[in-house]
Amino acid sequence: MRVLLVEDQIPLLKALRQGLEEESFAVDVASDGEDADAKARAAQYDVIILDIMLPKIDGLTLLKQWRSSGMLTHVLMLTARTTTEDKILGLDAGADDYLAKPFELDELLARVRALVRRSHQVKDPFIKIFDLTIDTAARRADRAGVSIHLTPREYALLEFLAFHRGKVVTRTMIWEHLYDEYDENTSNVVDVYIRYLRNKIDKGFNPPLIMTRWGEGYILRGEDDLPAAPKPAAKK
Protein backbone atom coordinates (compact mmCIF):
# COMPACT_ATOMS: atom_id res chain seq x y z
CA MET A 1 0.00 0.00 0.00
CA ARG A 2 1.15 3.53 -0.73
CA VAL A 3 1.43 6.14 2.02
CA LEU A 4 2.14 9.87 1.98
CA LEU A 5 4.07 10.85 5.11
CA VAL A 6 3.98 14.58 5.92
CA GLU A 7 6.30 15.67 8.75
CA ASP A 8 8.62 18.66 9.07
CA GLN A 9 10.91 17.19 11.75
CA ILE A 10 13.47 15.51 9.48
CA PRO A 11 14.84 12.95 12.01
CA LEU A 12 11.28 11.81 12.78
CA LEU A 13 10.40 11.81 9.07
CA LYS A 14 13.34 9.52 8.30
CA ALA A 15 12.58 7.18 11.22
CA LEU A 16 8.90 6.85 10.32
CA ARG A 17 9.68 6.33 6.66
CA GLN A 18 12.09 3.51 7.52
CA GLY A 19 9.56 1.89 9.85
CA LEU A 20 6.81 2.04 7.23
CA GLU A 21 9.05 0.69 4.47
CA GLU A 22 10.10 -2.22 6.69
CA GLU A 23 6.39 -3.05 6.92
CA SER A 24 6.30 -3.16 3.09
CA PHE A 25 4.54 0.18 2.57
CA ALA A 26 5.57 2.33 -0.39
CA VAL A 27 6.27 5.74 1.13
CA ASP A 28 6.36 9.23 -0.38
CA VAL A 29 7.38 12.08 1.93
CA ALA A 30 6.82 15.81 2.26
CA SER A 31 8.20 18.22 4.85
CA ASP A 32 5.95 21.23 4.23
CA GLY A 33 2.32 21.89 3.42
CA GLU A 34 2.81 23.02 -0.17
CA ASP A 35 4.76 19.90 -1.15
CA ALA A 36 2.23 17.70 0.66
CA ASP A 37 -0.66 19.34 -1.19
CA ALA A 38 0.98 18.87 -4.58
CA LYS A 39 1.74 15.20 -3.93
CA ALA A 40 -1.65 14.39 -2.40
CA ARG A 41 -3.41 15.77 -5.48
CA ALA A 42 -1.06 14.12 -7.98
CA ALA A 43 -1.15 10.51 -6.76
CA GLN A 44 -3.55 8.01 -5.22
CA TYR A 45 -2.60 7.17 -1.64
CA ASP A 46 -4.12 4.55 0.60
CA VAL A 47 -3.35 6.62 3.72
CA ILE A 48 -1.91 10.08 4.41
CA ILE A 49 -0.05 10.58 7.70
CA LEU A 50 -0.30 14.31 8.32
CA ASP A 51 1.42 16.46 10.95
CA ILE A 52 -0.57 19.52 12.01
CA MET A 53 2.24 22.00 12.57
CA LEU A 54 3.83 22.42 9.14
CA PRO A 55 5.64 25.22 7.30
CA LYS A 56 3.84 27.10 4.49
CA ILE A 57 0.42 25.45 4.97
CA ASP A 58 -0.59 23.88 8.28
CA GLY A 59 -2.10 20.40 8.43
CA LEU A 60 -5.59 21.46 9.50
CA THR A 61 -5.88 23.92 6.62
CA LEU A 62 -4.62 21.28 4.19
CA LEU A 63 -7.09 18.71 5.42
CA LYS A 64 -10.03 21.11 5.16
CA GLN A 65 -9.01 21.98 1.60
CA TRP A 66 -8.69 18.31 0.64
CA ARG A 67 -12.08 17.40 2.06
CA SER A 68 -13.79 20.40 0.48
CA SER A 69 -12.39 19.34 -2.90
CA GLY A 70 -13.77 15.82 -2.45
CA MET A 71 -10.60 13.95 -1.54
CA LEU A 72 -11.58 10.73 0.29
CA THR A 73 -8.14 9.37 1.22
CA HIS A 74 -7.96 8.29 4.87
CA VAL A 75 -5.89 10.70 6.94
CA LEU A 76 -4.11 9.98 10.22
CA MET A 77 -3.17 13.22 11.96
CA LEU A 78 0.00 13.51 14.05
CA THR A 79 0.39 16.34 16.51
CA ALA A 80 2.10 17.45 19.69
CA ARG A 81 -1.19 19.07 20.71
CA THR A 82 -2.91 16.67 23.08
CA THR A 83 -5.95 18.50 24.46
CA THR A 84 -9.44 17.20 23.79
CA GLU A 85 -10.24 20.43 21.95
CA ASP A 86 -7.31 19.89 19.57
CA LYS A 87 -8.45 16.33 18.84
CA ILE A 88 -11.98 17.55 18.15
CA LEU A 89 -10.63 20.18 15.73
CA GLY A 90 -8.68 17.53 13.83
CA LEU A 91 -11.53 15.05 13.63
CA ASP A 92 -14.05 17.73 12.68
CA ALA A 93 -11.69 18.91 9.92
CA GLY A 94 -12.01 15.46 8.33
CA ALA A 95 -9.31 13.32 9.97
CA ASP A 96 -10.05 9.60 10.19
CA ASP A 97 -7.73 9.05 13.16
CA TYR A 98 -5.59 11.12 15.49
CA LEU A 99 -2.31 10.23 17.20
CA ALA A 100 -0.55 12.49 19.71
CA LYS A 101 3.23 12.79 19.95
CA PRO A 102 5.19 11.11 21.38
CA PHE A 103 3.89 7.74 20.20
CA GLU A 104 5.13 4.20 19.67
CA LEU A 105 5.90 3.15 16.11
CA ASP A 106 3.97 -0.09 16.57
CA GLU A 107 0.82 1.86 17.43
CA LEU A 108 1.18 4.08 14.36
CA LEU A 109 1.66 1.01 12.13
CA ALA A 110 -1.41 -0.67 13.63
CA ARG A 111 -3.50 2.44 13.03
CA VAL A 112 -2.27 2.72 9.43
CA ARG A 113 -3.11 -0.95 8.79
CA ALA A 114 -6.59 -0.39 10.24
CA LEU A 115 -7.14 2.61 7.94
CA VAL A 116 -5.98 0.59 4.92
CA ARG A 117 -8.48 -2.16 5.79
CA ARG A 118 -11.21 0.45 6.27
CA SER A 119 -10.49 1.99 2.87
CA HIS A 120 -11.11 -1.44 1.32
CA GLN A 121 -14.13 -2.14 3.55
CA VAL A 122 -12.36 -5.00 5.31
CA LYS A 123 -12.85 -5.24 9.09
CA ASP A 124 -11.38 -8.66 9.86
CA PRO A 125 -7.55 -8.62 9.93
CA PHE A 126 -7.67 -12.18 8.55
CA ILE A 127 -8.58 -12.52 4.88
CA LYS A 128 -9.55 -16.06 3.86
CA ILE A 129 -9.89 -17.19 0.27
CA PHE A 130 -10.42 -20.92 -0.22
CA ASP A 131 -7.50 -22.45 1.76
CA LEU A 132 -5.39 -19.26 1.65
CA THR A 133 -5.26 -17.16 4.84
CA ILE A 134 -3.69 -13.71 4.96
CA ASP A 135 -2.96 -12.16 8.35
CA THR A 136 -2.89 -8.43 7.62
CA ALA A 137 -1.76 -7.59 11.18
CA ALA A 138 1.24 -9.93 11.19
CA ARG A 139 1.69 -9.48 7.41
CA ARG A 140 2.06 -13.16 6.64
CA ALA A 141 0.17 -15.82 4.73
CA ASP A 142 -0.36 -19.57 4.69
CA ARG A 143 -2.10 -21.94 2.34
CA ALA A 144 -3.63 -25.24 3.42
CA GLY A 145 -1.89 -24.74 6.75
CA VAL A 146 1.54 -24.33 5.12
CA SER A 147 3.35 -21.09 6.02
CA ILE A 148 4.47 -19.18 2.91
CA HIS A 149 7.60 -17.04 3.11
CA LEU A 150 7.00 -13.77 1.29
CA THR A 151 9.31 -10.81 0.77
CA PRO A 152 7.84 -7.42 1.76
CA ARG A 153 7.10 -6.59 -1.89
CA GLU A 154 5.49 -10.00 -2.51
CA TYR A 155 3.33 -9.63 0.58
CA ALA A 156 2.26 -6.13 -0.44
CA LEU A 157 1.21 -7.42 -3.86
CA LEU A 158 -0.73 -10.34 -2.37
CA GLU A 159 -2.51 -8.07 0.09
CA PHE A 160 -3.44 -5.64 -2.68
CA LEU A 161 -4.86 -8.47 -4.80
CA ALA A 162 -6.74 -9.77 -1.75
CA PHE A 163 -8.32 -6.39 -1.01
CA HIS A 164 -9.65 -6.50 -4.60
CA ARG A 165 -10.38 -10.25 -4.69
CA GLY A 166 -12.78 -11.25 -7.39
CA LYS A 167 -11.99 -8.07 -9.34
CA VAL A 168 -9.45 -7.36 -12.06
CA VAL A 169 -6.56 -5.12 -11.05
CA THR A 170 -4.53 -3.55 -13.80
CA ARG A 171 -0.76 -3.24 -13.91
CA THR A 172 -1.20 0.52 -13.55
CA MET A 173 -3.25 0.11 -10.36
CA ILE A 174 -0.61 -2.18 -8.89
CA TRP A 175 2.19 0.18 -9.86
CA GLU A 176 0.48 3.23 -8.38
CA HIS A 177 -0.23 1.56 -5.04
CA LEU A 178 2.92 -0.49 -4.45
CA TYR A 179 5.73 1.70 -5.75
CA ASP A 180 6.78 5.09 -4.41
CA GLU A 181 7.96 8.15 -6.30
CA TYR A 182 11.61 7.19 -5.86
CA ASP A 183 11.35 3.69 -7.34
CA GLU A 184 13.41 3.31 -10.50
CA ASN A 185 11.95 -0.01 -11.62
CA THR A 186 10.05 -0.19 -14.90
CA SER A 187 6.40 -1.18 -15.01
CA ASN A 188 7.14 -4.72 -16.24
CA VAL A 189 8.45 -5.50 -12.75
CA VAL A 190 4.78 -6.09 -11.86
CA ASP A 191 4.70 -9.15 -14.12
CA VAL A 192 7.91 -10.40 -12.51
CA TYR A 193 6.44 -10.20 -9.02
CA ILE A 194 3.20 -11.82 -10.14
CA ARG A 195 5.32 -14.76 -11.31
CA TYR A 196 7.19 -14.88 -8.00
CA LEU A 197 3.90 -14.83 -6.12
CA ARG A 198 2.35 -17.57 -8.25
CA ASN A 199 5.33 -19.83 -7.55
CA LYS A 200 4.68 -19.44 -3.82
CA ILE A 201 0.89 -19.20 -3.62
CA ASP A 202 -0.23 -21.56 -6.39
CA LYS A 203 2.60 -23.98 -7.14
CA GLY A 204 1.80 -27.34 -5.54
CA PHE A 205 -1.70 -26.26 -4.54
CA ASN A 206 -5.09 -26.63 -6.20
CA PRO A 207 -6.96 -24.74 -7.50
CA PRO A 208 -4.76 -21.85 -8.73
CA LEU A 209 -5.89 -18.57 -7.19
CA ILE A 210 -3.97 -15.91 -9.15
CA MET A 211 -5.41 -15.60 -12.63
CA THR A 212 -4.45 -13.50 -15.67
CA ARG A 213 -7.05 -11.60 -17.64
CA TRP A 214 -5.23 -11.02 -20.94
CA GLY A 215 -5.24 -7.39 -21.97
CA GLU A 216 -6.72 -6.35 -18.61
CA GLY A 217 -4.60 -7.41 -15.64
CA TYR A 218 -4.72 -9.91 -12.81
CA ILE A 219 -7.34 -11.25 -10.44
CA LEU A 220 -7.22 -13.14 -7.17
CA ARG A 221 -10.19 -15.46 -7.23
CA GLY A 222 -13.03 -14.66 -4.87
CA GLU A 223 -14.98 -17.43 -3.18
CA ASP A 224 -17.62 -17.28 -5.92
CA ASP A 225 -14.97 -17.80 -8.63
CA LEU A 226 -13.62 -21.08 -7.28
CA PRO A 227 -14.42 -24.28 -9.14
CA ALA A 228 -17.12 -26.38 -7.58
CA ALA A 229 -16.02 -29.54 -5.81
CA PRO A 230 -16.61 -32.66 -7.94
CA LYS A 231 -19.82 -34.47 -7.22
CA PRO A 232 -19.52 -38.05 -5.99
CA ALA A 233 -20.25 -40.66 -8.62
CA ALA A 234 -23.75 -42.04 -8.54
CA LYS A 235 -24.04 -45.55 -7.17
CA LYS A 236 -25.23 -48.16 -9.62
pLDDT tens per residue across span 66-114: 999 999 999 999 988 777 888 888 889 999 999 998 899 999 999 999 9
- What CA–CA distance (Å, rounded) separates 171 from 218? 8
What is the model's pLDDT at position 122? 84
- pLDDT of amino acid 229: 46
Q: What is the arithmetic mean of pLDDT over 1-25?
A: 93
Position 232 pLDDT exceeds 70:
no
What ranges do the domains of the chain cover? Answer: 2-119, 126-225
Contact 83, 216 (CB under 8 A): no
Q: How far apart are CA 164 and CA 217, in angstroms?
A: 12
Answer whether 26's CB lies under 8 Å from 156's CB: yes
Rounded CA separation 142/100 (Å): 35
d(CA 136, CA 1): 12
- The pLDDT, as a whole number, for residue 230 is 44
Helix or strand run (H / E) with residue 6: strand 2-6
| Number of Cα atoms under 13 Å in the Cβ half of residue 142 | 7
pLDDT tens, residue by residue, 24-74: 899 999 999 999 999 999 998 999 999 999 999 999 999 999 999 999 999
Task: Say what the pLDDT of residue 185 is.
Answer: 62
Judged against a pLDDT cut of 60, whether residue 233 lies above it is answered with no
Q: What architecture (CATH level 2) is domain 2-119?
A: 3-Layer(aba) Sandwich (3.40)
Q: Is the CA virtual torsion 53, 54, 55, 57 positive or negative?
A: negative
What class, spelled out in words, does domain 126-225 have in CATH?
Answer: mainly alpha
Q: For residue 226, is pLDDT > 60?
A: no
Give the percent of the chain with pLDDT over 90: 66
pLDDT at 5 over 90: yes
Q: Report the C-alpha gap between 68 and 71 in whole angstroms.
A: 7
Q: What's the confidence (pLDDT) of residue 187?
A: 61
| pLDDT at residue number 79 | 85
